Amino acid sequence: MDLHARVLFCHDPGDRLVCVNEPPYPAAPRWYAGTSRDGRVVRYRTDVPGDLRAAIAALDVAAAGAAHLAAVASLLATDRPLGAIWIGPAYAFGETPTEGAGARIIDGDSRSVLLPHYPWVHAELAERAPVVAAVVDGAAVSVCCTARRTDRAAEASLDTIADYRGRGLATAVTAVWAAAVRRSGLVAMYSTSWDNLASQGVARRLGLVPYGWDAHIG
């Protein structure tokens, strides 16, 4: 979970959150917590006052569910208005397939297939590598690429054009992406929100291991 937190957000030397680890590097959430069977990882943004951090730390962590999240939010609201609240499962890749039907890695010579539906990935190809796509009629219709990375791990970003969902393309491109990340020597990571049932479905079909869940409050 610590590895996941460091992929998601840039930290200062004191392990406080600075910004989201993805261009254009917006401000990090004010509070982050990741929970797994091995324990909890809790981080605060650099501008959260010490007394507020202490008050949150004093909450009953045994109630690390909806009640605890509501209590954290209430305390954060005493300092400034709340921002977005996000919560969802985090997965590790087990023995995933190394190939997916119709999925291929996109490089500089083939990047034009990204332009019709994924121009931002085309513009950031090097930063998003490995970029894996399912291509139909010369256009990428499903893409899995790197959302965020450190020198140890990479987090997946997955999208499929609406007309091509439900065909197994998302599963295929994600499998090839994970295999490519592993070949580069990094840990492949995948997470989503609790309300994103389609993304959770991809995780199930790939046999990903749900090792915990995390939450953050802006």
Residue 98 lies in a domain: no
The domain boundary, picked from 34, 56, 91, lies at: 91
Q: How confident is the model at residue 67 (pLDDT cuts 50, 70, 90)?
A: confident
Residue 215 lies in a domain: no
Residue 177 lies in a domain: yes
Q: What is this structure's pTM? A: 0.92
Claim to verify: residue 78 and residue 120 sit in the same structural domain? no
Q: Domain of 138: which CATH number? A: 3.40.630.30
Residue 218 lies in a domain: no
Count up the domains in the chain and report the number: 2
Claim to verify: residue 8 and residue 85 sit in the same structural domain? yes
Domain that holds residue 46: 2-91
Q: Which two tokens stand for residue 177?
A: 């992406």
Claim to verify: residue 200 and residue 107 sit in the same structural domain? yes
Taking the C-alpha atoms of residue 167 and residue 173, their distance in angstroms, rounded to an integer, is 12
Residue 50 has a pLDDT of: 97
Claim to verify: residue 27 and residue 112 sit in the same structural domain? no
Q: How confident is the model at residue 65 (pLDDT cuts 50, 70, 90)?
A: confident
The domain boundary, picked from 91, 117, 144, lies at: 91
- Residue 97 confidence (pLDDT) above 70: no
Claim to verify: residue 84 and residue 108 sit in the same structural domain? no
Phi, psi values for residue 123, rounded to 5°: -70, -25
Residue 216 lies in a domain: no
Residue 99 has a pLDDT of: 66
Residue 98 has a pLDDT of: 62
Chain centroid to CA 32: how far?
A: 13
Residue 95 has a pLDDT of: 75
Claim to verify: residue 20 and residue 85 sit in the same structural domain? yes
Burial classification of residue 103, based on how many CB atoms lie within 10 Å of its CB (0-12 exposed, 13-18 middle, 19 or more buried)? buried
Claim to verify: residue 197 and residue 140 sit in the same structural domain? yes
Claim to verify: residue 86 and residue 144 sit in the same structural domain? no
Claim to verify: residue 13 and residue 43 sit in the same structural domain? yes
Residue 36 lies in a domain: yes
Claim to verify: residue 67 and residue 119 sit in the same structural domain? no
- Residue 63 confidence (pLDDT) above 70: no
The domain boundary, picked from 91, 118, 139, lies at: 91
Average pLDDT of 108-132?
A: 97
Taking the C-alpha atoms of residue 125 and residue 208, their distance in angstroms, rounded to an integer, is 26
Q: Tell me the CA distances in angstroms from 59 to 55, 115, 158, 215, one per residue in order.
A: 7, 49, 35, 16
Burial classification of residue 26, based on how many CB atoms lie within 10 Å of its CB (0-12 exposed, 13-18 middle, 19 or more buried)? exposed
Residue 188 lies in a domain: yes
Residue 62 has a pLDDT of: 63
